[in-house]
Amino acid sequence: MNSADSDKAFAGSIPKLYESHLVPLIFEPFAADLVQRLRSRPLTRVLEIAAGTGVVTRRLAAALPASVTIVATDLNQPMLDQAAAIGTSRPVEWRQADAMSLPFADGEFDAVVCQFGVMFLPDKSRAFAEARRVLRPGGVFLFNVWDRLEQNEFAQAVTTALEPVFPENPVRFMARIPHGYFDRATIERDLRGAGFASPIVFETVTARSRAASARIAAVAYCQGTPMRNEIEARDASRLDAATDAAAEAIARQFGRAAVDGRIQAHVVMIEK
């Protein structure tokens, strides 16, 4: 598996660890933020892309009227399987789909939502054009992206901690993908290239990332994301050692009991 493939591979034990460790650590507060931004809009059909294990989907199902149809998609079937196993408060449609080639008709949705997924898309303008295509006139494309690594304390601590574990080939997944698409000018260029012409709302949101221990945070990053694939590609026998190094680094910086660090993201909203 090459790095481009491994960066997008959420399989094996990753979906369960992603849901149990990473979702409460970093995704819950931003999921609530995204859904709150949609509640006042007139909606009949909502599409979620890169739904993962369903943290946003569950909030959409709980917050939006029962008359609103929710279709949740992801490229990775194991993530959707995990999401469907957890379930939602009312029925939603789970569907495997590639965000760069959506299997929906033009103008089918009032909103397209994506939480921390666009960073993984190899051709962002193409995916944005697909989101625009399936939106009705006046529909909204709403997504968020992580800010730079230095503004996200646990992710930075883990990345730094792994440098001496693999000194000749450092593990840079977090900097390269999740925290690699934060520049406003680049995002605006990609949206304009996709055909969006209306004003862009770009807002930076800061929250807190909390875990009962440094170990939980380390497992979340090292074993509950595709960074695990990058570690194992270097030396599968050193996954535990890498996780231990990350846990020790977090404990040194944030304490040996419950830990609390800053997380920061940008929210982007644009209408068709």
CATH of domain 3-271: 3.40.50.150
Determine the 3-state secondary structure of 56 from DSSP: helix
**pLDDT at 6 (0 to 100):** 43
**pLDDT at 12 (0 to 100):** 57
Q: Tell me what the pLDDT averaged over the chain comes to.
A: 94
**pLDDT at 1 (0 to 100):** 45
pTM here?
0.94
Helix 214-223 / helix 227-235 crossing angle, nearest 10 deg: 80
Show pLDDT as tens, one digit a residue, over the chain (272 residues): 444 544 444 545 678 898 999 999 999 999 999 999 999 999 999 999 999 999 999 999 999 999 999 999 999 999 999 999 999 999 999 999 999 999 999 999 999 999 999 999 999 999 999 999 999 999 999 999 999 999 999 999 999 999 999 999 999 999 999 999 999 999 999 999 999 999 999 999 999 999 999 999 999 999 999 899 999 999 999 999 999 999 999 999 999 999 999 999 999 999 99
In tens, the pLDDT along 130-152 reads 999 999 999 999 999 999 999 99
Distance CA 27, CA 56 (A): 9
3-state helix, strand, coil in the chain (%, to 5): 45, 20, 30
Q: Nearest-CA neighbor of 175 among 148, 208, 205, 144?
A: 148
Please give the single-letter amino acid code of residue 92.
V
Determine the 3-state secondary structure of 188 from DSSP: helix
